[in-house]
Amino acid sequence: MALDLMQLAQPFMPPIRTIRHYRIADLPADLIAGLTVSVVDLPQSMAFALIAGVPPVYGIYCAIFLAFLGALFTSSRFLSNGPTNTQSLLIAAIVSRVYDVHDMHYVYLVVALALLKGLIQLVFAAARMGGLVRYVSNSVMIGFTAGAGVLIFLEQIPNFLGVHVTRATNEWPGVIGMVARLGPHWGEVNPRAVGIGLLALGLVIGARRLSDKVPGALLAVMIGSAVVWAMNWSQGDLPIVGTLPHGLPTFQLPHIGFGSGEQRVSWSEVEAMLGGALAIALLGMLESVAIAKSIAVRTGQRISANQEFFGQGFANVTGSFFMCMPGSGSFSRTALQYAVGARTRIASVACAVFNAAIFLALAGPARYIPLASLAAILFIVAFMLVDWHSIVRIARTSRSDTAVCLITFAAALTMPLTYAIYVGIFLNIALYLNRASQLHIAEMVVTHGGPFIERPIQTVSGSQNVMFLQVEGDLFFGVADELGDRLRDAAAPGVRVIILRLKRTHSIDTTVLHTLERFHRDVRTRGVELVLCGLRPELLRKIQAYGLDKQIGPDNIFQAGSGIFASAKRAIARASVLVGEAVDAGDIALDDDESFAYEI
């Protein structure tokens, strides 16, 4: 009972361990890092909210509540959570296909999506499914984020130009839909918005050239707001953020299945968002683990994928009670936090607290922020998402990985974005299965000097009594037919014993065991014996559980020994008994070519 309670409490332990071992000497560094990241976080969060299609204040809510909760339960000391570019783009893609009017009902759908995403991640954490991240390659992530970068850039062109465009549920997805949506509005370009946008773009680029620590995004937002205030411009002169709510949201349940009017999120709308919620849950998890591991390479900290599933899930579920949009780990904020000297997760907690304090103090002046300034910030973010260096390295290294990367990139540009991540995952799984299904079988031969070597299977002569084969690879259902065919080819006339060495096989399933059983039954009718050697304990247990050991005979099965080719030598000795005479090199195969590399 006590052990069960400890296992249930384990996901909640990271903040307790941090407090237990926290040093007061680390507090100044954590506070400075938190304040530094907050200065960058607030304008970014408002910009990411625009990508998601919700008012900027909901990005701030996410940067406060979800960032605070995510910091407590992540397995990384430095991971900074909150709204992100790719997550926000996916939010817009998911919710706009259900409801395309950007009013309060749209906001309630986004909050409901955060709840769905968090619940899915908590289920994955309970099922210990953190290992899923291994099946999504770096090529998929690079292709997907590059596509997301292009889409973010195109999505922000209307805000940069100061024009208002509407989205239709039946429009073409991806780039084609965005271009078609913008086309009729080129004559409505607002010169004031373009001027503010160019000023912001220059400030952000200039700040980056000076130093990564210069808050270019904050300068762009502040100076743009100052210009709007000084010129007494209003919403009619150019698109601006407008009046923000005063104070923080209170606790309230997401309106799923209850409420009235625009507040009520119907079950049919929830069902329509489930597929997208799964995609955003997986992508958020992949991003967070990848970011945490990139920092852990330098710190030596161990990252738990299952803990990340729990931390992200708990943060999104609880954050939905405070009107938060879905969020996950952010690479730019995490990297900045680590670079400026953060020591523990308290830095991320401090960042969330600073976000709340600054928002409460400056909510009034924030209404002057021009959307063109936020669009300019997102242009830079979008450009940075396209990792040209990695794409070139992949293209130089692997054709298959290049194909996966480019197809995922193309899918992100031409299909609904939620489908693109599934396309990449499917390609990864297909590529893995193709590689795993490559069965390697070599003939074991001996030289005059005595050691075993391997070579491709040669034509069997009539004088060869024993065929000794080395099998290598994953023995799963995908290779069963090929294994059966190649074993039948090896059982040529004149062969009286077939030895299979399974030392280099990694697993075996019932389909392959059935194939071996059927092969043994077929050759036994012709007086040919099957001998298995090099069996590791787990492989031997599966053979015994299936009952194949009784059919082949315990005397014909040899477990791997501690010596080099120990079980192989015992198998040859058994073959001598079975053929009724001593088996020497000539009875198996003999080769004088000493250029073969010795294999163990």
- Domain coordinates of the chain in residue numbers? 25-164+185-242+283-431, 440-588
Type and span of the H or E element at 225: helix 216-230
Separation of alpha carbons 66 and 82, rounded Å? 6
CB atoms within 10 A of CB 11: 20
Give CA–CA dist 161/373, Å, rounded.
Answer: 11
User: How many Cα atoms occupy the beta-carbon half-sphere of 293 within 13 Å?
Assistant: 12
Determine which of 266-270, 387-391, 438-442 has the lowest per-residue pLDDT on average.
438-442
Backbone angles phi, psi at 161, to 5 degrees: -85, -10
pLDDT (average), residues 229-251: 87
Provide the 3-class DSSP secondary structure of residue 453. Answer: strand
Q: What spatial distance separates the first Cα and last Cα of the chain, rounded to whole Å?
A: 48
Q: Which residues contact 329 (CB under 8 A, 6 or more apart)?
A: 70, 74, 79, 80, 81, 84, 284, 287, 288, 291, 292, 312
What mean pLDDT do residues 97-104 have? 85
Write out the two tokens for 122.
């908590």
Average pLDDT of 464-486?
87
Q: Do 595 and 587 meet the contact criterion of CB atoms below 8 Å apart?
A: no
- Copy the structure tokens of residue 248: 């923080």
Q: How many CA atoms lie within 13 A of 522 on its CB side?
A: 15
CB-based contacts of 79, cutoff 8 Å, min separation 6: 70, 71, 288, 291, 292, 295, 329, 334, 348
153, 174 in Cβ contact below 8 A?
Answer: no
Q: Say which residue, 245 or 448, is predicted with more confidence.
A: 245
pLDDT in tens, 4-48: 566 677 888 888 888 888 899 999 989 988 988 887 788 889 889
Mean pLDDT computed over 254-267: 78
DSSP 8-state code for residue 308: H
Q: For strand 81-82 and strand 452-455, is the pairing parallel, antiparallel, or unpaired?
A: unpaired
pLDDT tens per residue, range 154-173: 888 888 998 887 665 566 77
Binned at pLDDT 50, 70 and 90, residue 386 comes out as: confident
C-alpha of 109 from chain center: 25
Q: Give the CA dihedral 52, 58, 63, 65, nearest 10 degrees.
A: -130
From 3.40.640.10, 3.40.30.10, 3.40.50.880, 3.30.750.24, which CATH number describes the 440-588 domain?
3.30.750.24
Task: Let me know the angle formed at the C-alpha of 46 by 192 and 268, rounded to the nearest 5 degrees.
Answer: 115
Residue 8: both structure tokens together: 């249930």
Residue 169: per-residue pLDDT: 55
- With contact defined as beta carbons under 8 Å apart, do 145 and 387 qualify? yes
Whether 408 and 425 have beta carbons less than 8 Å apart is answered as no
The per-residue b/e assignment along 195-234, b for 16 or more CB within 10 angstroms, e otherwise, is: bbbebbbebbeebeeeeeeebbbbbbbbebbebbeeeebe
- Length of the chain in residues, anyone? 600
Looking at every residue in the chain, the average pLDDT score rounds to 84
Q: Where are the beta strands (DSSP E) in 8-152?
A: 81-82
* pTM (global) more than 0.75: no
Percent of the chain residues past pLDDT 90, beyond the cut: 33
Q: CA nearest 579: which of 520, 519, 495?
A: 495
Contact criterion met (CB below 8 Å) for 595 and 473: no
Output b/e per residue, 530-559; b: 16+ Cβ within 10 A: bbbbbbeeebbebbeebebbeebeeebbbe
Cα separation values, 154 from 159, 418, 440, Å: 10, 18, 49
Q: How confident is the model at residue 586 (pLDDT cuts 50, 70, 90)?
A: very low
Q: What is the pLDDT of residue 253?
A: 85
Q: Which residue bears the tokens 């000297």? A: 341
Could you tell me what percent of the chain has a pLDDT over 70? 90
